[in-house]
């Protein structure tokens, strides 16, 4: 049976959100958390950018090295890079990073051909550039290559099919349908994705923006239509729906829709590995990292997602939660108490010393071998605090402790 898998793009498209930025350590922790959640893939960033090289190679390394328990920090998550569909870009990206999965993007709509490329390229040129880039990626050692049709929702369907067939013949495995402006609606994207799946006969991927508030609905409708035609489908998401302009399809909302909605739950298309009990943890981490609070009404993870005040609702929820809740808060990894300290608090950061460091680590049950070990970790913690521009989280402190050499690479920049 065809399956729907999630490829989260928080570390690429999500980080393109205006006015925010992530440190390379934060991007890495997001990848670790996505892996723990059973997400299929992460579009980790831009392998053509020099400031990404250490981070990308460090994350590839994390799929190989093991912690003290013999478990790699990233076990199953597929690390994917994004590149323009330009052969020279692909060659340089592969020369500088150890990525083996690339997504190659090029604009396909008449609007973009006329007003972005200014008539410089014909449709045949677009296809040839994409084919050359695919071949360069495969010749450069890529295990998988996806082709992205930017502005696919405003692209002529016959050209979109030609684009997909040419990419497939060149060796691409996935065609990404980009609703770049959030222009589609669930009916149009389902019709178009179904037709592509039927006639091009290759796995399809949805990449939907939220300009009309339809990113989640469109992503789900398009992916289901592809699966109904017998093709595997992939959905691009971002944690908390962050992204350019109005954002992208929210990770948790997409998963909840596929797992609990009336018409989709019984289809069983969602990848069984997805563990929703990790949802609240990653949502909180990303919100803290971006400095963007989770909306109070965010499905599953918002402060009001399980709040009941109305007398009728409160009475019904107390009698049986199924009266007013489709899923349990435990399913999202919620239900624990969150404690805010009001007395003495010892932190560690750029100005910290070993005494404070040892105190902080003792509270997460980690100790140092000796003074030299403590000083080594302290230096990394100081630099990480500078990179994050905020206090380090428990996840970040643990990561630095267990993977100090990888952390050093993440904190190293060479302009």
**Model pLDDT for residues 329-341, shown as the tens digit of each residue:** 999 999 998 888 8
- CA angle, residues 91, 94, 98, in degrees to nearest 5: 175
Q: Enumerate helices (H) and strands (E) in the chain, giving the number of each.
A: 15, 8
**Model pLDDT for residues 359-376, shown as the tens digit of each residue:** 999 999 999 999 999 999
* Listed residue (165, 155, 156, 174) closest to 107, CA to CA: 155
**Model pLDDT for residues 64-97, shown as the tens digit of each residue:** 987 666 668 999 999 999 999 999 999 999 999 9
pLDDT at 291 over 70: yes
Cα distances from 332 to residues 66, 280, 299, in angstroms, run 28, 6, 10
Range with the lowest mean pLDDT among 55-69, 279-293, 318-332? 55-69
**What whole-number distance in Å separates Cα of residue 160 and Cα of residue 20?**
33
pLDDT at 339: 83
% of residues, the chain, pLDDT over 90: 92
**Model pLDDT for residues 13-24, shown as the tens digit of each residue:** 999 999 999 999
User: How far separated are the first and last CA of the chain, in Å rounded?
Assistant: 49
pTM value > 0.85: yes
Range with the lowest mean pLDDT among 153-167, 203-217, 304-318, 381-395? 304-318
**Model pLDDT for residues 216-267, shown as the tens digit of each residue:** 999 999 999 999 999 999 999 999 999 999 999 999 999 999 999 999 999 9
Contact 112, 159 (CB under 8 A): no
Q: Give the residue extent of every domain in the chain.
A: 4-290, 354-410
Contact 387, 54 (CB under 8 A): no
333 — alpha (psi -120 to 50), left (phi > 0) or beta? Answer: left
pLDDT at 81: 98
Which architecture characterizes domain 4-290 according to CATH? Alpha-Beta Barrel (3.20)
């Amino acid at each position: 049976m065809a399956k729907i898998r999630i490829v989260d793009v928080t570390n690429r498209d999500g980080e393109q959100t205006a006015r925010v930025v992530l440190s390379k350590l934060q991007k890495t922790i997001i990848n670790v958390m996505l892996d723990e959640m059973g997400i299929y893939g992460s579009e980790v960033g831009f392998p053509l950018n020099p400031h990404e090289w250490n981070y990308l190679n460090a994350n590839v390394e994390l799929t190989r090295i093991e912690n003290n328990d013999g478990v790699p920090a990233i076990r199953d998550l597929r690390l994917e890079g994004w590149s323009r569909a330009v052969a020279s870009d692909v060659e340089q990206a592969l020369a500088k990073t150890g990525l083996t999965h690339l997504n190659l993007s090029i604009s396909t709509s008449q609007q973009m051909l006329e007003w972005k490329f200014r008539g410089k390229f014909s449709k045949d040129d677009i296809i040839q550039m994409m084919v050359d880039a695919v071949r360069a990626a495969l010749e450069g050692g890529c295990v998988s290559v996806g082709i992205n049709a930017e502005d696919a929702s405003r692209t002529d369907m016959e050209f979109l099919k030609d684009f997909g067939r040419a990419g497939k013949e060149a060796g691409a495995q996935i065609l990404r349908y980009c609703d770049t402006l959030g222009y589609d609606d669930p009916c149009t994207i389902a019709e178009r994705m179904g037709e592509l799946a039927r006639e091009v006969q290759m796995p399809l991927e949805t990449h939907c923006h939220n300009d009309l508030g339809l990113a989640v609905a469109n992503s789900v409708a398009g992916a289901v239509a592809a699966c109904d035609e017998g093709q595997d489908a992939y959905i691009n998401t971002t944690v908390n729906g962050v992204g350019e302009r109005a954002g992208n399809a929210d990770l948790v909302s997409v998963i909840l829709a596929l797992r609990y909605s009336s018409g989709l739950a019984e289809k069983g298309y969602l990848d069984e590995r997805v563990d929703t009990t990790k949802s609240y943890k990653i949502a909180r981490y990303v919100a803290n990292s971006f400095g963007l609070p989770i909306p109070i009404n965010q499905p599953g993870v918002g402060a009001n997602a399980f709040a009941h005040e109305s007398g009728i609702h409160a009475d019904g929820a107390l009698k049986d939660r199924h009266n007013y809740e489709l899923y349990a808060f435990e399913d999202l990894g919620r239900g624990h108490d969150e404690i805010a300290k009001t007395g003495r608090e010892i932190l560690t950061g750029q100005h910290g010393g070993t005494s404070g460091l040892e105190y902080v680590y003792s509270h997460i049950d980690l100790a140092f071998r000796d003074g030299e070990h403590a000083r080594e970790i302290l230096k990394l913690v100081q630099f990480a605090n500078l990179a994050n521009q905020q206090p380090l989280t428990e996840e970040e402190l643990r990561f630095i402790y267990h993977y100090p050499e990888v952390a050093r690479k993440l904190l190293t920049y060479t302009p």
